Structure 1
Amino acid sequence: MSTIKRDKGLDNTLKVMKEGYLYTTNQRNRLGADNIFETRGLGGKRVLVLSGKKAAETFYDNDKIERKGTLPKRVVNTLFGKGAIHTTTGKKHIDRKALFMSLMTEGNLKHLRELTRNHWYMNTHRMEQMDQINIYRESIILLTKVGTKWAGVQAPEEKIEEIATDMDIMIDSFRGLGTAFKGYRSSVKARRRVEDWLEDQIIQTRKGKIFPPEGTALYEFAHWEDYLGNPMDSRLCAIDLMNTFRPLIAINRFVSFGLLAMHEFPVSREKINNEDDYAYMFSQEVRRFYPFVPFLPAKAKTDFHFDGHKVDKDTMLLLDIYGTMHREDVFENPNEFRPERFLDWDGSPFDLIPQGGGDYYTNHRCAGEWMTVIIMEETMKYFAGRITYDVPEQDLRVDLNSIPGYVKSGFVIENVKENLDRR
């Protein structure tokens, strides 16, 4: 049995953060290791990095892999929240995941589509009055309105920008992984403010003082009981309630990437307007092509073999998310932006994995992925056909060495006009 190739160093965390989304691909190429290599990080822990479609299949095999306790505390404390569904496993995870998935009804998803379409249209006049619009910033405010409305949460107009800012601080905290991140305290405080606000609404709903519509996240979470018949602790309930719409707000990154793609590949704008399902294919390609999640952690639940190598129980693992979606053996010509690749895509849960892979109900795949695609479709249709705008000179680079990834300028537009055919 061959030896697993190793990226030498006592702790490569700083190297990972320096090379960002390209670290895994760089090391695989340097070491000549197609699907697995060893590194050390987060205090010198031995970590096996798995890459490719077979790696994703292994990573989401619940008999082999354990996710509980593998997320860095800093990420839990800022991005997901203590006790969040992302930190659970086994029957508890499946029970809580069923609650999340119960929100994915046809009616709820249709409502989300309508909310997105209507909020962008109603935002047109505001953008027409602005000299310049930073899409990264504008979309996080708008998506906060959409997300809270969809979840049944009471969010006064004057509080929306504050909530949006706090959400952005939390999401951005991932960039401090393994470093002396100066914004950690502000991220924790931002999370505490949003948790306080949502816990109050959980308590008020349970007391019958506010009345969110049945079927909304607030209603269902406030009234849910676990498999033992116990209601969720109000603080934990607030944390997981936030996790129903926080991912929607993080889509602002995909929105700015989507407008960048339309700008750099202008033929896509015409196709979004004129071809059925092209907005769907375009949205999926944005999610595949641009950087979002770099990798995900887990550990071996038992001894098993992968790619001819033995993996011992309790070994720390990283699934190479970004690198897997940019492999030639997973997607043909992966470094080309080509939405048409999804015309005949088989819907595999192990190749297009920007928000995780595997089964929605039993694995840690993001329950909001369907919602992400819906929001992207409607947003791209709006910018492609409902308005016209100019793109001034700006820094449109996407730095793959920075986690999380951004369009450097946020993608700025100006001279927004409603696109009306008055003939």
Structure 2
Amino acid sequence: MSTIKKHKGLDNTLKVMKEGYLYTTNQRRRLGAENIFETRVLGGKRALVISGKKAAELFYDNDKTERSGTLPKRLVNTLFGKGAIHTTTGKKHIDRKALFMSLMTEGNLKHLRELTRNHWYMNTHRMEQMDQINIYRESIILLTKVGTKWAGVQAPEEKIEEIATDMDIMIDSFRGLGTAFKGYKESVAARRRVEDWLEDQIIQTRKGKIFPPEGTALYEFAHWEDYKGNPMDSRLCAIDLMNTFRPLIAINRFVSFGLLAMHEHPISKEKINNDPDYAYMFSQEVRRFYPFVPFLPGKAKTDIQFEGHDIEKDTMLVLDIYGTMHRDDVFENADEFHPERFLDWDGSPFDLIPQGGGDYYTNHRCAGEWMTIIIMEETMKYFAGKITYDVPEQDLTVDLNSIPGYIKSGFIIENVAEKVDRK
């Protein structure tokens, strides 16, 4: 049996942070390791980095791998929240995941599509009055309005920008990878403010002082009972409630990447306007091609084998998310932006994994993935067909060394005008 190749070093965390999304791919190539290599991170912990479709199948096999206790504590404190569903496993995870999935009704998803379409249209006048629009920033504000409205949460107009800013700070905390990064205290404070605000609404709903519509996230979470018949602790309930719409706000990254892709591939605008299926294919390719989540941690639940290597129970595993989606043996010509690849895609749960893999109900695949696609479809249709705009000179570099990845300029547009056929 061959030996697993190693990236030598007592602790390679700083190297991971320096190389960002490309660390895993770079190391595989340097070491000549096709699907697995060993490194040490987060204080010198031994970790096996696994890559490829078979790696995703292993990582999301509940009998072989688990996620509980593997996320860095600082990242839990800022991005997900203490006790969040992302940190659970087994029956508890399945029970609470069912609550999340109960929101994915045809009516709720249709409502989200309508909210997204209407909010962008109503936002046209605002953008027409602005000299320049930073799409990264503008979309996080708009998606905060969409997300809170969809969730049934009371978010006064004057509070939206504050909420959007706090959400962005929390999402951006991923860059610390659990280390004592400079913005940690700011991220914790941002989370506390949003949790306080949502917990108050949970309590007020339970007391019958506010009345969110039945079927909304606020209503369902406030009235939910676990498999033992117990309501969720109000603070934990606020944390999981936030996790129903926080991922929607993070879609602002995909929105800016989508406009960059349109700019670099202008024929895509015409295709989106003329082909009813193209916005879906385009949105899926944006999710595959551009950086979102670089990798995720887990650990071996039992002694297992992968690619002919024995892996002992409790060994830390790191699934290479970004690298897997950029492998030619997973997606043909993976370094090319080609939406048509999804025309005949088989819908595998183990190759397109920007928001997790496996089964929606029992695994850690994001319950909001369908919502991401809906929001992206409607947003891309809006920018392709409902307005005109100019793209001024700017730095459009996508920084793959930063986690999360960004367009350095945020993607700026100007001279926005409603597109009207007056013939």
Q: Which TM-score applies when normalising by structure 1?
A: 1.00
CA contact (8 A) 2:73 2:178 kept: no
Q: CA deviation at 1:261?
A: 0.2
Deviation at 1:421?
A: 0.2
Which string of whole-angstrom CA distances, capped at 9 and with x for unpartnered residues, describes residues 11-43 of structure 1?
A: 000000000000000011111111110000000
CA distance in 2, matches of 1:201, 1:192: 14
- Structure 2 partner of 1:83: 83
1:56–1:120: structure 2 CA closer, same or farther, 3 Å change rule?
same
Q: CA deviation at 1:181?
A: 1.2
Contact 2:326/2:335 (<8 A) preserved: yes
State the distance in 1 between where 2:276 and 2:376 align.
Answer: 15
Q: TM-score, normalised on structure 2?
A: 1.00
CA contact (8 A) 2:21 2:401 kept: yes
Per-residue deviation at 1:399?
A: 1.1
Q: Which residue of 2 aligns with 1:395?
A: 395
Deviations 1:61-81 (A, max 9, x none): 001001100000111000000
CA contact (8 A) 2:355 2:369 kept: yes
Provide Cα deviations, 1:262-292, integer angstroms capped at 9, x if missing partner: 0000000110011121000000000000000
Equivalent residues of 1:269, 1:384 under 8 A apart: yes
| 1:217 matched residue in structure 2 | 217
Residues 73-99 of structure 1: CA deviation (Å, up to 9, x unaligned): 111000000000000000000000000
SS in 2 for 1:149: helix
Structure 2 Cα separation of the partners of residues 399 and 104 of structure 1:
33
**Distance in 2 between residues matched to 1:21 and 1:49, nearest whole Å:** 13
Once the two structures are superposed, residues 181-237 of structure 1 have per-residue CA deviations (whole angstroms, 9 ceiling, x without a partner) of: 111001000000000000000000000000000000000000000000000000000
- Asked whether the 8 Å contact 1:256–1:410 carries over to 2, the reply is yes
Deviations 1:318-349 (A, max 9, x none): 00000000001000000000000000000000
Contact residue 75 and residue 178 of structure 2 kept, 8 A: no
Counterpart of 1:94 in structure 2 is 94
Q: In 1, are the aligned partners of 2:55 and 2:319 still within 8 Å (CA)?
A: yes
Shift of 1:180: 3.8
What percentage of aligned pairs have identical amino acids?
90
Distance in 1 between the 2:66 and 2:335 partners?
A: 32
- 1:4 paired to 2:23: no
Equivalents in 2 of 1:145, 1:156: separation in Å?
9
1:178, distance to aligned residue in structure 2 (A):
5.0
Superposition CA RMSD, Å: 0.5
Question: Helix, strand or coil: the match of 1:123?
Answer: helix
Instruction: Report the secondary structure of 2:130's partner residue.
Output: coil
Q: How does 1:240-251 map to 2 (within 5 A)?
A: 240-251=240-251
**Residue ranges of structure 1 left out of the alignment (5+ in a row):** none
Is residue 205–residue 219 contact of structure 1 (8 Å, CA) maintained in 2? yes
Cα pair 1:199 1:238 within 8 Å, conserved: yes
SS in 2 for 1:248: helix
Helix, strand or coil: the match of 1:39? strand
Give SS of 1:362's match.
coil
Q: Is the 8 A contact 1:14 1:179 kept in 2?
A: no
CA distance in 2, matches of 1:318, 1:395: 32
Provide the rounded CA distance (Å) in 1 between the counterparts of 2:272 and 2:150: 25
Q: Secondary structure at the match of 1:240?
A: helix
CA shift for structure 1 position 177: 1.8
Give unmatched runs, 5+ long, in structure 2: none
Does the aligned pair in 2 maintain the 1:294–1:320 contact within 8 Å?
yes
Which whole-Å CA distance do the structure 2 matches of 1:284 and 1:361 have between them? Answer: 21
Return the offset for 1:179. 4.3
1:297-308 correspondence to structure 2 within 5 Å: 297-308=297-308
Distance 1:180 1:229, change over 3 A: closer
Q: Conserved in 2, the CA contact under 8 Å of 1:14 and 1:178?
A: no
Q: For the Cα contact (< 8 Å) 2:74–2:179, is it kept in 1?
A: no
Alignment partner, residue 292 of structure 1: 292
- Determine if contact 2:42/2:179 at 8 Å carries over to the other structure: no
1:230 partner SS: coil
Conservation of the 8 A alpha-carbon contact between 2:396 and 2:408 = yes
Find the aligned partners of 1:231 and 1:178 in 2 and give their Cα distance: 31
